[in-house]
Each structure stands twice: as C-alpha cells, then as structure tokens.
Amino acid sequence: MKVTIIGAGKMGRAIGTRAVAGGNEVEILDHDPADAQKLADELGASASAIDADASFGGDVVVLAMYYPGIKEAAQQYGDRLDGKVVVDISNPVDTQTWDRLATPADTSSAEEIAEVVPDAKVVKAFNTTFANTLVEGKVDGQQLDVLIAGDDDGAKRKVSELASGGGLRPLDVGPLKRAQELEHLGLLHITMQEPLGLGFASTFKLRP
C-alpha cells in the first residue's frame, strides 16, 4: 500500500513510523518542504517527500494535523482527495478552555471534512493514540488499539490494514457519526494526562 501523510509533525512521524514498519511506501507533504524531507529521511528508503503541487499517490491519505487546520487542508487540497481514503486523526479541542470540543454537539471534525470533500471516503482513526505511543506501537507491552469509524467498509478495511500491518489492533466502532464519541474520548484522554501524571504515554485498551 502507498500512504500519503500530510503533516510532518509528531503524529505524521508516528503514523509514518507504523506505516513503514508495515512494509508500506510513504510520501510526506508539509507546508515546510524541509520538514517533509527531514521526516522522509528519518523514515528511510520507503519514504519520500513531495511538494505542495504534486498529486497524491497514496491509496490512503492521512491528514496528520490539528483542528481546524485539518479542515482547512481538506479545503485546500480539494479534488486531489476525491476517491481517496482520507483519515482524520484530530481531536478538535477548544484551545481556549481545554475542557470542551470546538465542534458543534451534533457533528465532529471528521464529519465536517466529509462535507468539504464529499467525493472522498473519510475515516476517523488514530485520535485516541498519542504520538509517542504510536512510535513504539505498544504501551506497557500491550498492543495499541486503533478505533476506526467510517461509512465506507472498504475504506475502513484499508485503514485497518495500515494499522494491523504496523503492529496495531484495529477495531471498527461503526459509522462516521461515531467519530463524535471518538473525539470526546480523545478529549477525555488528553484532559487525564496532567492530573494523573501520565505524560502522554497512556492508551485506552479494550479487553474482553
């Protein structure tokens, strides 16, 4: 599989690390071409940097950026995302208060993106996993769970293959509207870090 990652920050690096570990080819795009090239060099021979005008070769396009920048990126790249599996990893936290989401109560970042690029197959994933835990792929020896929501079963299978190939456990939690619950779970996970002294090294694990 070929994976396009837009954003060369912490989550771009983390998901890129898992994608390369799964034997995938990765292309990196960032508003700073030097950052894209630096990450591609770090990820190794399976990764390359592309410029802002290039078409996206990835079967899966990961928008590895914060909200609302992730929505702005979807608007910017527009028809280049048509037909692609587009992964929203964001938690749209209100950065004024850090105790609520910035999205209206009846929607999610992922659903907003689906409205911006209606011809893409939008999937919510990776928003409940922190960057440093994704780089390792485990927490306390436990395989990370990746919770996945989307309306297209084929798109969810693609994202599941990306996760499982990188040593993670994908879990399909239902249609794209479940992104609302996933983003609230992401917010809860973030707000737990400081009071519990977790250092963004924790994860949620589903056990039977």
Is the model's pTM score more than 0.95? yes
pLDDT at residue 48, as a whole number: 98
pLDDT at residue 208, as a whole number: 80
CA 65-175-73 angle, 5° bins: 20
Is 1 in contact with 27 (CB distance < 8 Å)?
no
Domain range for 130 is: 2-196
For residue 23, the Cα-to-chain-centroid distance in whole angstroms is 18
Inside any domain, residue 207 = no
* CATH number of the structural domain spanning residue 145: 3.40.50.720
pLDDT at residue 154, as a whole number: 98
Other Cβ atoms less than 10 A from the Cβ of 186: the count is 26
pLDDT at residue 188, as a whole number: 97
pLDDT at residue 98, as a whole number: 86
- Tally of domains in the chain: 1
Inside any domain, residue 129 = yes
Inside any domain, residue 44 = yes
Residue spans of the chain under pLDDT 70: none
